[in-house]
Amino acid sequence: MNSQEGMATTQGPQRNKAASAPLIVRPLTAADYEKWLPLWRGYQAFYAIEIEDSVSRTTWRRLLDPAEPMFGAASVDDAGRALGIVHWILHRSTWTKGDYCYLQDLFVASWARRRGVGRSLIEHVYETAKVADCPRVHWLTHETNKGAMLLYDGVSERSGFLQYRRLLD
């Protein structure tokens, strides 16, 4: 995930002390594709990866499909410009009865950082996870993503767990 430090709320267009305009976080809609795609590509560029267009189109469809446990939201300013995006997935856990919420992707446009956008997107996920009775929201970030980690350290706690993985053919 990529974000920067800041402060805002997810409750409607409220002015943030650090922001010059109100921040609004709302669920993605089909009409948002042209705003979402550049941010999605920016997220990929930040991590120096390139996801195939067919996978991105599948991701977009899943984000909008009410039958999928995958969700997305955008932060927009009062002019309707997309400032950032967040995606999350609800999933089962062997440790609880309720689903956990995995915040999978978080990205804020470079020109919109340090205005509370990242914090407002995370808070939006917290609120939707609470409504879904999730006892936990969790996510990963790269160890070199120091700017985002400053924000994350202020809105969550480090679990102490390390991720191990093996890519399969």
**pLDDT tens string 103-112:** 999 999 999 9
11 assigned to some structural domain: no
Question: Helix, strand, or coil here: 108?
Answer: strand
**143-156 pLDDT tens trace:** 888 888 888 889 99
φ, ψ dihedrals at 151, nearest 5°: -65, -50
3 assigned to some structural domain: no
Domain that holds residue 136: 24-155
* Gap between the Cα atoms of 127 and 124, Å rounded: 5
Query: Average per-residue pLDDT in the chain?
Result: 87
Count: domains in the chain: 1
- Write the CATH number for 75: 3.40.630.30
- Minimal CA–CA distance to 131: which of 5, 33, 10? 10
Given a cut of 50, whether residue 141 has pLDDT beyond it is yes
17 assigned to some structural domain: no
What is the mean predicted confidence (pLDDT) over 12-38?
75
Q: Which range is most confident: 5-19, 85-99, 135-149, 155-169?
A: 85-99
149 assigned to some structural domain: yes
Alpha helices in the chain, H assignment, sequence order: 33-46, 53-64, 117-131, 146-155
Q: Which residues contact 57 (CB under 8 A, 6 or more apart)?
A: none
Given a cut of 60, whether residue 96 has pLDDT beyond it is yes
Given a cut of 60, whether residue 52 has pLDDT beyond it is yes
Confidence of residue 19 (pLDDT cuts 50, 70, 90): very low
Q: Which residues contact 51 (CB under 8 A, 6 or more apart)?
A: 44, 59
145 assigned to some structural domain: yes
What pTM, to 2 d.p., does this model score? 0.84
